[in-house]
Amino acid sequence: MKKSFQMVLMMVLCSMIVLAGCGSKGATNEGDANKDAAPTTTTGSGSDNSLAPYKITLVYPATAPKDLQLVQDEMSKYLTEKINATIELKPIDWASWDDKTNLMKISNEPFDLMFTASWFSYPKDVAKGQYLELDDLMNQYGKEIPGVLGDDFIKGSRIGGKLYALPTKKEFGQGFGFLFDKKLVDKYKIDTNGMKSLDDLEAIFTMIKASEPSITPIVSSKFTNIWQASNYDGIVANLSIPRGAKEIKAIDTLEDPKYIDFYKRMNKWNQNGWFDKDVLTSDADQAMNMIKAGKAFAVAQSLKPGKDKEMSLSSGVEVVQVETAVPFTTTGDAQGAMLGISRTSKDPARAMMFLNLLYTDAKLLNMLDWGIEGKHYVKKSDNVIDFPEGVNADTQSYPNPGGWMFGNQFNSYLWSNEDPKKWELFKAFNDSAERSIALGFAFNQEPVKAELASIANVEKEFDATLRSGAVDAEKIIAKWKEKRNAAGYEKVKAEVDKQLAEWAKTQQ
pLDDT digits (tens, 9 = 90+) for 52-89: 999 999 999 999 999 999 999 999 999 999 999 999 99
List beta partners, residue 174.
Answer: 328
429: pLDDT strictly greater than 70: yes
pLDDT digits (tens, 9 = 90+) for 454-484: 999 999 999 888 888 888 999 999 999 999 9
**Lowest-pLDDT range of 14-28, 255-269, 418-432:** 14-28
What pLDDT shows up at residue 171?
Answer: 87
Domains identified in the chain and CATH numbers: 31-173+330-443 (3.40.190.10), 174-328 (3.40.190.10), 446-506 (no CATH)
What pLDDT shows up at residue 283?
Answer: 63
**Lowest-pLDDT range of 150-159, 322-331, 372-381:** 322-331
7: pLDDT strictly greater than 60: no
What pLDDT shows up at residue 38?
Answer: 60
Question: pLDDT category, 397, cuts 50, 70, 90?
Answer: very high
∠ Cα 169 172 175 (to 5°): 135
CA distance 292 to 73: 35
193: pLDDT strictly greater than 90: no
**What is the arithmetic mean of pLDDT over 176-194?**
91
List beta partners, residue 441.
Answer: none
What pLDDT shows up at residue 24?
Answer: 36
Task: Determine what percent of the chain is predicted with pLDDT higher than 90.
Answer: 62
**Lowest-pLDDT range of 218-222, 311-315, 363-367, 398-402:** 218-222
DSSP per-residue codes, 400-458: ---GGGSSBGGGSPEETTS-TTHHHHHHHHHHHSEEPTTTT-----GGGHHHHHHHHHH
The DSSP code for 256 is -
What pLDDT shows up at residue 352?
Answer: 98
**What is the arithmetic mean of pLDDT over 322-338?**
87
What pLDDT shows up at residue 45?
Answer: 37
